[in-house]
Structures are given as structure tokens and as C-alpha cells.
Structure 1
Amino acid sequence: MKTVTVAQMKQIEHNAAQSGLSYTQMMENAGTEAAGFLTALQPSVHTITIFAGKGNNAGDGFVAARLLKAAGCNVTIVLSDGVVQTPDARLNLEKAKACGILVLDFAEETACIAEHLKSGTFIIDAIYGTGFHGILRPNMRLITKLINSSDCPVLSLDIPSGVNADSGEADPDAIRAAWTIVFDSLKPAHTLDSSALFCGKIVPVDIGIPEKCHEISE
């Protein structure tokens, strides 16, 4: 698997969309891979909490939620940053709700969610993805600190939330994942010592993007 920058990955995805693989299908494929990774750990995985942001990384998590529910898992979605913004992510949130998955808003259910994590659960980190840079906002820091202080194993989608995918720079309270599932191509942070502590084990997966779409301008 080759290494590309975040900007190059966006171009690869654009190329794929132009070639007929829709962004919606790429999201479906990414979520399917994430769900498949966790179901392969059965029977140890039964209760799963998905912390979702408001962009397409969240959408990947919502797809995984639906498929994990269908596989017999007890799934809860936590909206970490308010209303979901992107159309594909919103569509998959509605699909997850239609499956009967419990959806909680962290700002309104903080104590309940903290108590829920004490009972033992696997966590999917679908908060930021590769769009993060800078430092965590106070409300998001509260969430990442809660996750990191729990005993719950974490699977991050593409990059742990709080880690800059290009530079590898990480907020001190960035998610410390047990595994990071990487969609299509490695990003620089996956290969740097500075972010290794946060990424855990790297799990590369194919999301169906044709090889020809990886022809990118420098």
C-alpha cells in the first residue's frame, strides 16, 4: 500500500468518482471493511459504541453500525459534535436509525455515556478522520479523554482523532487506538514514529478504488 498526502487522497477519491465509483459507495465499502474487521474478532466483540463526528468519517462509522447490528452486535452511536453535516453521512445515519440503533448526543447524555463505557464495549472512533489539524476543541477533548481513560479497545477509522494525517503531529489527548483501519492508501502519519503511539496496529484495507485512479499530480 503506497503512502499519499490527504490532498492526494482527495484527488484519488475524485478520480474514482469520475470513473463511476460514487462517494456513497466508497463510504459503504469503508464501513463494510470496518465492520468486517470487528466481526472477525467474534465472539469477543458484542457491544460496540461508535463515536461519530459530523463529516464523512462519521458516515463510515454509521455504515459499520448498521452492519454490526445486522451481525447481532449491541450497537450505540454517540454524536460527538452535534448535527451531522455531509449528505452521505446523514443518509447513513438515517439508515442506522431505521435499524433501531440507539443514537445519543454527547452534549445531552454525557453522564449516561460515561457510565455506558464502564460496562465494557469496543469503540469505533469515527470523529475526525484525515480532516483534523491543530488542537482539539475543549468539547472534543472531553470526549477523547473519556475514551482514553476507559478500558475499551478502540478501532480508529483512517486516522485516530486528534492526529494530523500529513504531519503526524498529535494533540496530547488524541485518541490512542488499538487498531487504525486505513482506507485505500497509507497517509504519512501511519508511518511516522511521532504518531505510532496513537495509531496502534495499522490495518490496511481496499475500498474498491481502481488502480488507474491512483495516477495523481505531484
Structure 2
Amino acid sequence: MQAFTNEDHERALFAQNNGNYLETKLQAYKVMAASMSLSYLSMRFVQVMVMLAGAWFVVRGDHFKAVNDNYGHAAGDEVLMSFAQRVRNCLRPGDAFGRVGGEEFAVVIPHCPKPDAIRVSERIREALAGTPIGLSDGRLVKVTASIGLSLSPETGAISVERLLSSADAALYRAKANGRDRVEISEFPGPVAS
């Protein structure tokens, strides 16, 4: 395996998978939805009407501090890049994906009904837990992830802030219930925010 350069490190950890990238993708969805006469979601935490259900995920590596402590920060960065790539490989080209911070990532999948959202979240979880990540020095690191899934209501106004907060609450339930699992929050009907 080829060693990572500083440029690879910067691009993988900070440029492509950060909040600005996620915000740009969400802005593109908003423009696309407007062209179809649908309201969509804005990262500016404004109130919007969600016409078709979407799925919001918060994906966090379990016990990631132990990876850095046991293997070193350079190895931790390798694991983080592989972790991010495995999540990305489970998504469609148009889905939004960004690094929130540390070992935490956000995923937004537009027009994603509950059964599909559950399948995607389980596919992400299994992609991470199924095969250890190989480091450039040949060592293998087993990683798992806790995933919080928030499903936007099919009708009703709700803020992006509330959707992300709901996904985050589901993430903490996943961690409290043993990690390496998916927990779901959903808004059952019309929601006033």
C-alpha cells in the first residue's frame, strides 16, 4: 500500500469531507428541488416544507480514541480515511456526505423512505464492522460504528437543526445500547417546529 502524502491527508480529512462540502451538496439539492417545485432542506437552519421523506444519518466510529492510543495518530488517520471511504461506497453519487468532526460524519439521502434508509444504515454498519481495515504497515484494525438515523416527516415543516438533533439523539442511544448498531428517530406526522 502506498504511503499517504500530506496532500492526501489534507484532502481526505479536511477538504472533501467537511461541513462546507456537505452544505454545498445540500444547497445543490435545494436548487434541484426548487426546479421541481418542491421545497427542500437548507443548512442555514431555516424552516422548510419537506415534500418527500429524506434520511439523515450521523455515523460515529466506536472507541476511536483507542485506535489512536494503540496504533498512533498516523494510523488513526489511515483508519479514518478508510472509514470515510467505506461509508461513501455505500451511498449513491447524489447523496450528501461530510465529516462533522473527529470520527463523526453526516449523511443526507434525499427522497429516502424508511425501509430504504434502514437498509442503507445497516449496509454502512456492516461495511465498517465486516472487514478489518488494513494499515500501510500491514496491521489490521477492527472498527465498528454507531449510527443515528433521523427520518424527516413526509409532510410538515421542520428545521434542519431539529433533524440533526434527532439523528444525534439516536446516535447516543446507539452508543448507550451497546454500539455497533443503528437507532432510529422519526417524526410520525406533520410537525410544527
| Higher radius of gyration, 1 or 2 | 2
Question: TM-score of the superposition, structure 1-length normalised?
Answer: 0.26
Identify the structure with the greater strand proportion: 2
Structure number with the bigger relative contact order (C-alpha 8 A, sep ≥ 6) is 2
TM-score, normalised with respect to structure 2: 0.28
